Amino acid sequence: MQDNHVNQKEVSLLWSRCDQKIATLVLAHGAGAPMDSPFMDQMTEALVAQRIEVVRFEFPYMAERRISGKKRPPSPKAQLLATWKQVIDLVRQTTPGPLAIGGKSMGGRMASLVVDEARVSALVCLGYPFYAAGRPEKPRVDHLVDLQTPTLIIQGERDALGDRETVEHYTLSDQVRIEWVPTANHDLKPLKRSGLSHSQSIEKSALSIVRFLTAHRA
């Protein structure tokens, strides 16, 4: 796996390239961890090993935290969406072939809000935040009802931001497919009784992503 940093217009892109790529996936981080968190690193490595080129970036508030060392809340929604659009434009300037977008938790949710407009081949969400922690009565799924882009959501059955028992009652677009990770939490980490380690869970999820992106390369 070859990682390259590209800085342009105050956005830092971290490219993880591979030979004979199947597709390129732009992957955004979650609200509290950076683009090179252990989860993001492991998922990227697993995807690149299966010929998915991965591009990571950081939203402005996270980039500031990297410089200052001080934790900051996420940027306003409008700024997060603007950053996503900018990143998609930057990647398209230099990257031929099928392009998909997605992310971990908040990063995936923001991607889902721009994906139809962006006209990419697919959307991949890892631990989608269907609702805020402890607030299942206020789901954030209205836009998922009319989503037009093929979408894969990989979700832990015990995810505190969207557990299986709750989410299976939602009515979502027929373009949305949810793959449940048995006994797993928001980070796709399963319980010991599942027989899978966290790393194995991530690798298995990566294989599902590869199959999905291979099927939606148009």
Number of folded domains that form the chain: 1
Per-residue confidence (pLDDT) for residue 60, from 0 to 100: 93
Structural domain includes residue 4: no
Q: Which of left, alpha, beta for 48 (phi over 0: left; psi -120 to 50: alpha)? A: alpha
Q: Is position 55 within any domain? A: yes
- Domain span at residue 66 reads 12-214
Question: What is the reported pLDDT for 3?
Answer: 47
Beta carbons of 207 and 50 less than 8 angstroms apart:
yes
- The answer to whether residue 1 is domain-embedded is no
pLDDT at residue 7, rounded to an integer? 42
Residue 34 lies in a domain: yes
Q: Which residues fall within 8 angstroms of residue 94, CB to CB, at 6 or more apart? A: none
Q: What is the pTM of this model?
A: 0.94
Has residue 76 been placed in a domain?
yes
Q: Which residues of the chain have pLDDT under 70?
A: 1-10, 218
Residues 138 and 167: beta-carbon distance below 8 Å: no
Give, as one character, the DSSP assignment of residue 159: -
| C-alpha closest to that of 206 among 128, 152, 129 | 152
Domain presence at residue 7: no
* Residue 5 resides in a domain: no
DSSP H helical segments within 98-167, as ranges? 106-118, 164-167
Instruction: Identify the helix (H) or strand (E) that includes residue 65.
Output: helix 60-68
Give the Cα-Cα-Cα angle 114, 108, 128 (nearest 5 degrees). Answer: 130
* Residue 66 within any structural domain of the chain: yes
**Strands, E assignment, 22-160:** 23-28, 52-57, 99-104, 122-126, 151-156
| Domain CATH for 60 | 3.40.50.1820
Residue 168: partners with Cβ closer than 8 Å, 6 or more residues away: none
